[in-house]
A and B are shown apart, each in its own frame.
Chain A
Amino acid sequence: MELLCIRQWISGLLPTVKKWLSAWCIKPVGGALVRQEPEYILLALMGSPLKKIMLCSSEKEIFSVEEQVMVQHSVIINNMIEDGSYNHEESKIPLDCVDSKTLKKVIDYCTHHTHHHNDNQEDLEAWDAQFLNVDSNGLYDLLMAANYLEIRNLLDLIYGTIKNMIKGKKIDEIRRIFNIKDHGFTPEEEEQNRKEYPHFY
C-alpha cells in the first residue's frame, strides 16, 4: 500500500522531474536493455526498497530479485514486465526449464553485473572466469538457462568459453573433450587428412 501512495505522488511530479531525469538512463550492460522509467530511479534516490520480482524455478523454489537487475539482462523477463502481464503484487514468473541451482547462479551473474558494471574490465573478467568455474553439466545448464532467458552477455561468455576449448587444441583432444566417438570420415579420408595436416592431430 505504502508503495502505491508514493507512486501516485511521484506521478504528479513526473512531468518536471522527467526532464532532468531523462539523462539518467540505466547503462546497458553487455548490450542488453535500457530501462528508463524515471519513477524507479527516483525511488532509488529516495531510498525506498526497489521493486522486486519473483522467479520460480522448475523445483518450485521462489527467488526474489530486483526487477531492475533482471530486466537489464534478460530479454524475456523484460518483455514480460513491459507487457504488463506481470503484476508485482501477486505474480511470479515460472521458469520450468531452469532448476534452482542454475537459477541461483543466473541471478548471481545478473546482480553482479548490474551492481559492478562500472568496474574495470580486468576485474569483471576475473569474476566471470571464476563464475564459470563449474563442471560441464553446470555449464550446459547455464547455457540452456541463458538461452531461454535470452541473456545476451552470459551467452556470449559461455560461447567464448566453449570456443576456447576448441581453439588451439589438437583434433584428437577435441574429439575426446567433446566426446565425439564417430568422426564420420571414411578411413581413407581420415588418413589423407592426417597426412596432409599432421600438425593438427
Chain B
Amino acid sequence: MFSEGLGADESLCQDVQSLSVSKRLVRSVSQKLRKKNNRSAGEEDDDLKGVALRCLTLYSRGGGCKVGADTSDEFSDSNGRRRSSASEEGRGYKPICGPEETAVDCFSYGVRDIFWRRHSRKNSEIEELAANTRMHIFLPDDVLEMCLVRLPLTSLMNARLVCKKWRALTTTPRFLQMRREGSYQNPWLFLFGAVKDGFCSGEIHALDVSMNQWHRIDAEYLRGRFLFSVASIQDDIFIVGGCSSLTSFGRVDRSSFKTHKGVVVFSPLTKSWRKIPSMKYGRSVPILGVSEVSSDFPTCQGHQSRQDRRPRSRIGGVSDVYEDPHKLSMRRHCRSSFNESEASSVTSRRTYKFLRQKSDHSSSKGSRRVLLIAVGGLGSWDEPLDSGEIYDSVSNKWTEIQRLPFDFGVACSGIVCGKMFYVYSETDKLAAYDVERGFWISIQTSPFPPRVLEYYPKLVSSDGRLFMLSVSWCEGDGQIGRRNKAVRKLWELDLMYLTWTEVSVHPDAPMDWNAVFVADKSLIFGIEMFKIFGQVLDFFTVCDVSDMARWHHISRNHVTHELDASSCLTKTVAVLHL
C-alpha cells in the first residue's frame, strides 16, 4: 500500500536528510497524497496535480521506474480534458502539459528537433499555409521588421543567422525597444546552482516558458561556486557572493570553504559575462534586492551617528571604531548638518549627505541606472550578517548602508517593491529599507496563522504589490479543528493598512523548504525541488496575480533527474522577460 511505502519514517528521513523535513510534515504529506489518489479524476485540477502523484504510486509498486517517463504516458488520455485558461494567449505563455519530449539541449539556445504542442486549429492551418508559400517578392524592410519583432527569442536568434540584413535589422536598439513595448517578449526562468555528481558544474538551465523548452548554458564562471544569490533586472542577472570549497575544487564542501565578495553579471541575450566591483564583505546566500531607477534618483548615503550605538553582539565580530576609520572622520564632518529621521522604531539621530547622482551620459535613453542591494547572508565563518551594501551602476561601486534593525534577527527573504526594499526575518519580523532616504523601518503588520517552523516565508513582488508565500498548518480534509496539514499559501500585504490577506493556496504539498519564488510582470513562478524515493524531482508552478491567482503546473521533471540532491539546497532561480 502506498502509505506503507512512506510509513518507514527513518528511511524517508534518510533520503531527505539534507532537507530536514519534520516527521509530522511527512506524515501529513503522505495523508494528503493518499487522499489525492483515492479521489476521482473528475475534478479538473486533479488532471494535472494528480498525475505526478499517480506516478509515485507506480514507482513504489513497480519499483525503479523513471517518474518522467510515466508522466508522459499518464497524460495521453487526460489531454482531452485540458482546461483552457483565458489568460494564456494574452501573456504569450501556455501551461503546456501535453506529452512533449523535451530533453535538455547541449548547445546554447539550440532549437529542439522534435517537439509537439497542442495547437489551436488556426495555428496548424496557418503553418501549413506557410510551408507552401514562398515569398518571391522582395519584402520592404519596415514590413520585415514588423514581422521579425513578433518572433519569440529562440526564433529571433535563428533569424539573426539567416543573413546580414536580418541581423542588422534585429539588433538595432529601436528594434529591441519595439519588441519590448509590443509585449512580444516572454518569461524565461534561469535555474542556477545545479550540482551533478557532487560537482558544481556551473550549468545554468534555462526554461523558455512560452515554448516549454529547456536550454542549457555552460557557465565556466560559476564552476565551483555555490550558495550564491541571484537577482534579475531588465536583461541582466546579477550573481552575488557564494562559497567555493578550498580543499576540493567544485565540490559542495561546507567543511572548508571561502566566501566570495565578487559579483558577476550575466546577460543571456548576448551570453556575456562581466564583473562588477566586489562587495565589501564576503557573503553567501545574501538577500538581494534590485531595481531600476531614473538617472537622477537621489540616493542617500547613511552613516551611523554616535547615538546609534547599540550593544554589539558577536555578529560581524569587529568593533565599530576599527571597522572603518573613515567613518569616524565623516561623523565629525557631518555633525554640523543633521536631520531628524521620521523612522518609527529605529530611532537614531543621523546625519546624511544627500547625493544627487548626475548621469554622465547626456540622454537618459542610453544608460539605465540599476541599484542592487545586498543584505545579510552568511559571512566567512558561516555567521549570519546584519550588514548591508548597495551598488549603484552609475557610480559603479558598493556603499555600505545602515545595518538591519537591532532585534530583527536573521534575514531570510527580501524583495524590492516600489521604492522600498522589504526584508523578512526568521523570527517573523518585517522591515523595509527606504532606498531614497537610506534608513530601515520596522513594519508592524497584522498577524497571520503560525507557520511551519522549518519553512521560512518568501517575499515576492509583482505589479507593485507585495506578496509572501508561507507554509502554515491548516485543517486536514475532514478533520475539523485539527490543524495537521501543511499548506503553502500566497498572501498579500496591503501596503496602506499593513494587513495580510490570503490570496490563493498552492496546490502542491510543501515538500521543499527551499522553494524559490520569483515574479515577472504579473506572473509568480514557484520552483520546488526535492528528493523522494531516491530521485530528485522538480515542480514548476505559475500563477497570475492579475487573474484569480490560481496555480498551474508547467514543465514537470525535465531537468533534475540527473542532478544531485544537494541541488535542492543550492538552487536559486532568476526570471527575465526576453
Contacts and interface: CB of A to CB of B under 8 A. Distances in A.
Contact of A128 (B122, B143, B157): B122
A197 B109 contact: yes
Interface in A156-201: 159-171, 174-180, 182-185, 193, 196-200
A129 B125 contact: yes
B150 interface: yes
Interface in B130-153: 130, 133-139, 143, 146-148, 150-152
Interface string B267-279: 0000000000000
Interface stretch (B1-9, B162-170, B328-336, B341-349): B162-170
Contacts of A129: 122, 125-126, 129
Which among B105, B109, B151, B163 has the highest number of chain A CB atoms within 10 Å? B163
Nearest to B159: A166
Contact of A183 (B113, B122, B152, B163): B163
A139 interface: yes
B110 A183 contact: no
B497 interface: no
Interface residues of B, number: 39
Contact of A176 (B123, B134, B151, B158): B134
Interface string B455-491: 0000000000000000000000000000000000000
Interface size class, chain A? 35 or more
A interface secondary structure, majority: helix
Given A125-B120, A135-B133, A199-B113, A167 B139 contact: no
Contact of B150 (A163, A169, A175): A163
B121 interface: yes
A185 B150 contact: no
B137 A136 contact: yes
A163 B148 contact: yes
A152 to B, nearest CB: 12
B155 interface: yes
A185 B164 contact: yes
B127 interface: yes
A125 B120 CA distance: 10
A132 interface: yes
Given A132-B129, A177-B135, A183 B164 contact: yes
Given A129-B125, A166-B155, A160 B163 contact: no
A137 B164 contact: no
B147 A159 contact: yes
Contacts of A161: 126, 129-130
Given A125-B120, A128-B122, A197-B109, A183 B129 contact: no
B318 interface: no
Which among A176, A178, A198 has the highest number of chain B CB atoms within 10 Å? A178
Contacts of B122: 122, 125-126, 128-129
Nearest to A176: B134
A163 B107 CA distance: 24
Nearest to A181: B163
B148 A179 contact: no
B165 A184 contact: yes
A179 B135 contact: yes
Nearest to A186: B164
Contact of B110 (A162, A168, A179, A199): A199
A200 B161 contact: yes
Nearest to B112: A199
A118 interface: no
Given A137-B137, A161-B126, A178-B139, A197 B161 contact: yes
B453 to A, nearest CB: 47
Contacts of A178: 135, 139, 162
A175 B163 contact: yes
A136 B129 CA distance: 10
B111 interface: yes
Contact of A179 (B136, B159, B165): B136
Interface string A87-99: 0000000000000
A133 interface: yes
A174 B134 CA distance: 9
Given A184-B164, A200-B111, A174 B159 contact: yes
Contacts of B164: 183-185
A140 interface: yes
A167 B151 contact: yes
A8 B223 CA distance: 82
A73 B110 CA distance: 41
Contact of B133 (A130, A165, A171, A174): A165
B135 A184 contact: no
A177 B110 contact: no
B126 A193 contact: no
A143 interface: yes
Interface string B35-68: 0000000000000000000000000000000000
A162 B147 contact: yes
Contacts of B158: 166, 169-171, 174, 200
Given A125-B122, A167-B152, A197-B109, A136 B161 contact: no
B120 A171 contact: no
Contact of A160 (B125, B139, B150): B150
A139 to B, nearest CB: 7
A143 B144 CA distance: 12
Contacts of B143: 143, 147, 159, 162
Given A183-B162, A183-B164, A185-B163, A126 B133 contact: no
Which among A175, A182, A183 has the highest number of chain B CB atoms within 10 Å? A183
Contacts of B134: 136, 176-177, 179
Given A165-B135, A179-B135, A199-B107, A133 B146 contact: no
16 contacts: A126-B122, A132-B126, A136-B134, A137-B136, A147-B143, A155-B146, A159-B146, A160-B126, A161-B126, A161-B129, A162-B143, A166-B155, A175-B162, A183-B162, A197-B109, A197-B110
Given A122-B122, A128-B122, A167-B152, 5 more contacts: A132-B126, A132-B129, A160-B150, A161-B130, A199-B112
Interface of A: 122, 125-126, 128-130, 132-133, 135-137, 139-140, 143, 147, 155, 159-171, 174-180, 182-185, 193, 196-200
Closest 10 CB pairs of A and B: A184-B164, A125-B122, A199-B110, A183-B163, A165-B130, A129-B125, A162-B147, A163-B150, A167-B155, A140-B137
